[in-house]
Structure 1
Amino acid sequence: MSAITTGLALESTTVARSKNIGSLSQVSEQKTAINTYGDVFTVPDYTFKQVLDAIPKHCFQKSLPYSLHFVARDILAMAAIGWVGTTYIPLVQSQALRFVLYSLQSFGIGLFGFGLWILAHECGHGAFSNYPRVNDFVGWVLHSYCGVPYFSWKFSHAKHHQHTGNLQKDTVFIPWKKAELLEQSEHDDIFEIVHDTPIYSIIKLIGQQLGGLQLYLATNATGQPHPGWSKLGKSHYNPNSPVFDPEHYWYILLSDLGLGLVATGVYFWYKQFGLLNMAVNWFVPWLWVNHWLVFVTFLQHTDPTLPHYDDSEWNFAKGAAATIDREFGFIGQHIFHDIIETHVLHHYVSRVPFYHARDATDAIKKVLGKHYRHSDENMWKSLWKCLRSCQFVDGSNGVYMYRNTNGIGVGA
């Protein structure tokens, strides 16, 4: 018997013997499951209307000038960092120190670059202003500069919000089921050998953080399988992709045009100012934006306490609660525009602008109660923990919880 098969068999036996199983009879008749830690998870029973009614009316108010001032702030910060670095770092004599300073320059620009990406994301949800055309123009410009196809992302991301946590209909970060992991193990000897090793996790982590976004955009990786379609056929750059509806065709081409214009501009940037200037001020910050996007979104939807649902068991209120708020300090609140700290609220009502999201979050906590997920654990620690402990999901009543073959939590 393979190592993975043995581990899964042991996990099933351990779940049956869990000390928490005995407490199920004391839980209400709502459906339950056992999370990775061995604790009882109870499926939410409140309605979306209850959540919506709890949010103060002022939280829905949007201000175009106020939103635009954040765009201006982030652009000015990027320009200032770039100007200071380009002007003064070449004067440093030590090559090693110049490398460190250029790296810090790219890191700083990348932070505010991801801030711009978040503001474009606000545009895609209609939370930026009350003017849809303004939202789409600003979002198209900002997302294109960040190397993301605006309308393509907007449409697939909207489906993600409509079906969050639905194993059959969600569009991203869809975990393997237990049977799928077993099948992969049986047909791939190398995968069977290395799958539960730390080195495999490290390689996967590096690949995910550096190339995960581009792989998703190019091939719909971690999305729905869409049988009969090639990987490139499912691309976010393909207007005929099954990811989109037929009426999206010309918008996808407009997204591609935006990326083409940015690529052309970056090429002339390189020709005019040189490879180093372009790389430090755009290419490496672009890599950082890729990293931050995957880092943030993965940890918003992956945690040992979070469920997934079969379509028959899923509803919007349950799915929106299958997300988690985390803390990323000053950067999270002031540069990443609270996208990490208020993501649960964002999944319930994405049209609330980020500058009202904390008030709205405080309000919905009263409805969500124990179903509100929050963690103040260091996010770098959480990244490694989730990668090792959340390998696949398993369940028997339409509710699926994360499991692993690494001896972490239930099954250890």
Structure 2
Amino acid sequence: MQSSTTATSTSTQKYAIDTNGQVQKVPDFTIKDILDAIPAKCYERDLAKSLSYVFRDIFCLVSIGLFTHKLAYPLLFASAGKTLPWQLAKFLFWFSYTYVQGLFCTGLWVLAHECGHQAFSDYGAVNDFVGWTLHSYLLVPYFSWKYSHSKHHKATNHLTRDMVFVPPTTEEFKERRGFVGDMLYHHTGDSPLRTLLETLFQQLAGWITYITTDITGQKYEGVAAWKQNHFYPFSPLYEKKDAFYILLSDLGILTQCLVLKLWFDKFGGWSLFINWFVPYIWTNHWLVFITYLQHTDPTVAHYDADEWTFAKGAASTIDRQFGFIGPHIFHDIIETHVLHHFCSRIPFYNAREGSEAIKKVMGEHYRFNDENMWVSLWKCARGCQYVEGDNGVLMFRNVNNFGIGTNSKKQD
């Protein structure tokens, strides 16, 4: 009987069996091997070029907004009646508008993310000012998230040190679901309806829940729940020296709240709702959609403290494709994320060349999936519920009979 969860060869090379039943070799290259392969020009940061993308995205937001309100809506609906077809047409019109605005807001979010990694320019003060401004507009605590996100990069897919999308182990999953005994555990699956509802919650409220409760991060025993968030200066997520910057992040949030109050007073609730709030919800959705699928896949491994290395963790990410939107509006954050985890200081406009360079070193360990990302979202929600493994390498498993599921240890 071969355990299909993990296995170790007679050499030092380790293996794991992924959710699909495929053998996954644990990477044996080093971070130096990767960095040596990246051309020096990939590290070149151009402030003017980076700012041009900020101005482009803001220009698109403003021009689309003016076109929609001043020309398109009056032209299409000036004589619209109150019948159901007209009301449905209006709904679809505004739905499409907020969808597009949400895309460009997400583009600005990604550029602020570049600032947090100091990939925006050679000037730290410029990076932090631009990042703080853009993220505050979207109610993101810039420095707070910058610091927790940095820790995520330093411990990607480390079971006890990673800061986000930390999967439960088998026992933790059973405890969360209230399973009693192995019989119930092995024979109780989740209905597709439950998966759908949980996925909707993740996509609509996942980001807010994460920054306010650290829901998918590490657990801090003995620390009050209200302290485990991105707003409390002395949260266990941070070092004591970070407190001032956490407060500065909070100031950005409070400033934006004041801006939104003034917006409401001057232009009314509808203007605020359709031009900022709904695009903001779209942005939060895209953020979770992108990051979840960058780190969750049936082929992705997690590691315990003894087995983890920076190179292994960075290699446990996956590049995907998102059509025109990915490279042209989301600034390649989806298509070049593996490289980003090996070296986050490379600006996005140099990431394609860097990605091609590291593929030669990574070989079979480079993960790429060009499947429709909505299909991938559903598959990951059904198939990647918890991790298990017995040699320090843990792979995703599930109770939905997706792939080898909970019967993994019974496979020959």
Query: Under a length normalisation based on structure 2, what TM-score does the superposition of the two structures give?
Result: 0.92
* Superposition deviation, residue 195 in structure 1: 6.0
Between the aligned partners of 2:352 and 2:199, the Cα distance in structure 1 is: 31
* Superposition deviation, residue 181 in structure 1: 1.5
SS at match of 2:331: coil
Query: Which residue is 2:83 aligned to?
Result: none
Select 1:125's aligned residue among 117, 126, 129: 117
Between the aligned partners of 2:331 and 2:164, the Cα distance in structure 1 is: 22
Which residues in structure 2 correspond to 1:212-227 (within 5 Å)? 212-227=206-221
Select 2:264's aligned residue among 260, 265, 270: 270
Structure 1 window deviating more from structure 2 (127-136 vs 94-103): it is: 94-103
Q: Does 1:164 align with 2:156?
A: yes
Query: Which residue is 2:89 aligned to?
Result: 97
SS at match of 2:178: helix
Between the aligned partners of 2:395 and 2:126, the Cα distance in structure 1 is: 41
Query: Which residue is 2:13 aligned to?
Result: 30
SS at match of 1:402: strand
Q: Does 1:51 align with 2:34?
A: yes
* Superposition deviation, residue 99 in structure 1: 1.9
1:3-24 deviations in whole A, cap 9, x for unaligned? xxxxxxxxxx9x73x5x99x97
Q: Is the 8 A contact 1:332 1:338 kept in 2?
A: yes
Q: Does 1:66 align with 2:46?
A: no
SS at match of 2:394: strand
Select 1:329's aligned residue among 323, 333, 354: 323
Between the aligned partners of 2:391 and 2:284, the Cα distance in structure 1 is: 37
1:227-253 deviations in whole A, cap 9, x for unaligned? 112332111011110001101101011
Between the aligned partners of 1:211 and 1:257, the Cα distance in structure 2 is: 23
Query: Which residue is 1:76 aligned to?
Result: 59
Q: Is the 8 A contact 2:98 2:275 kept in 1?
A: yes
Query: Which residue is 1:294 aligned to?
Result: 288
Query: Which residue is 2:379 aligned to?
Result: 385
Select 2:144's aligned residue among 134, 152, 164: 152
Between the aligned partners of 1:318 and 1:202, the Cα distance in structure 2 is: 32
Between the aligned partners of 1:60 and 1:296, the Cα distance in structure 2 is: 24
Closer/same/farther in 2, CA of residues 156 and 24 from structure 1, 3 Å limit: closer
* Superposition deviation, residue 84 in structure 1: 1.2
User: Structure 2 counterpart of 1:53, which letter?
Assistant: D
Which residues in structure 2 correspond to 1:179-194 (within 5 Å)? 179-186=171-178
Q: Is the 8 A contact 2:189 2:400 kept in 1?
A: no
Q: Is the 8 A contact 1:90 1:98 kept in 2?
A: no
* Superposition deviation, residue 90 in structure 1: 4.3
Select 2:273's aligned residue among 265, 269, 279: 279
Closer/same/farther in 2, CA of residues 245 and 24 from structure 1, 3 Å limit: closer
Between the aligned partners of 2:24 and 2:188, the Cα distance in structure 1 is: 31
Between the aligned partners of 2:211 and 2:175, the Cα distance in structure 1 is: 26
SS at match of 1:164: coil
Between the aligned partners of 1:401 and 1:49, the Cα distance in structure 2 is: 26
Between the aligned partners of 1:140 and 1:185, the Cα distance in structure 2 is: 39
SS at match of 2:27: coil
Q: Does 1:373 align with 2:367?
A: yes
Query: Which residue is 1:396 aligned to?
Result: 390
Between the aligned partners of 2:58 and 2:180, the Cα distance in structure 1 is: 47
Q: Does 1:305 align with 2:299?
A: yes
Runs of 5+ consecutive residues of structure 2 not aligned to the other structure: 81-85, 408-412
Between the aligned partners of 1:28 and 1:74, the Cα distance in structure 2 is: 52
Runs ≥4 residues deviating over 3 A: 185-189, 191-195
Runs of 5+ consecutive residues of structure 1 not aligned to the other structure: 1-12
Q: Is the 8 A contact 2:387 2:395 kept in 1?
A: yes
User: Structure 1 counterpart of 2:97, which letter?
Assistant: Q
* Superposition deviation, residue 290 in structure 1: 0.2
Which residues in structure 2 correspond to 1:218-237 (within 5 Å)? 218-237=212-231
User: Structure 2 counterpart of 1:135, which letter?
Assistant: N
* Superposition deviation, residue 178 in structure 1: 0.4
1:144-200 deviations in whole A, cap 9, x for unaligned? 1111110000000000000001001000000010011222333799x9898611111
Q: Is the 8 A contact 1:141 1:258 kept in 2?
A: yes
Closer/same/farther in 2, CA of residues 207 and 195 from structure 1, 3 Å limit: farther
Query: Which residue is 1:3 aligned to?
Result: none
Select 1:173's aligned residue among 146, 149, 165: 165
Q: Is the 8 A contact 2:188 2:399 kept in 1?
A: no
Closer/same/farther in 2, CA of residues 86 and 249 from structure 1, 3 Å limit: same
SS at match of 1:176: coil
Select 2:133's aligned residue among 129, 141, 148: 141
Q: What's the % identity of the aligned pairs?
A: 52
User: Structure 1 counterpart of 2:382, which letter?
Assistant: R
1:188-218 deviations in whole A, cap 9, x for unaligned? 99x9898611111111001000000000000
1:269-319 deviations in whole A, cap 9, x for unaligned? 112111111111100000000000000000000000000000111010000
Which residues in structure 2 correspond to 1:190-201 (within 5 Å)? 196-201=190-195
Between the aligned partners of 1:224 and 1:230, the Cα distance in structure 2 is: 14
Query: Which residue is 1:260 aligned to?
Result: 254
Between the aligned partners of 1:86 and 1:381, the Cα distance in structure 2 is: 34
SS at match of 1:166: coil
* Superposition deviation, residue 98 in structure 1: 2.0
User: Structure 2 counterpart of 1:343, which letter?
Assistant: H
1:59-87 deviations in whole A, cap 9, x for unaligned? 00000000000000000000011111121
Q: How many residues align?
A: 394
Select 1:351's aligned residue among 345, 356, 375: 345
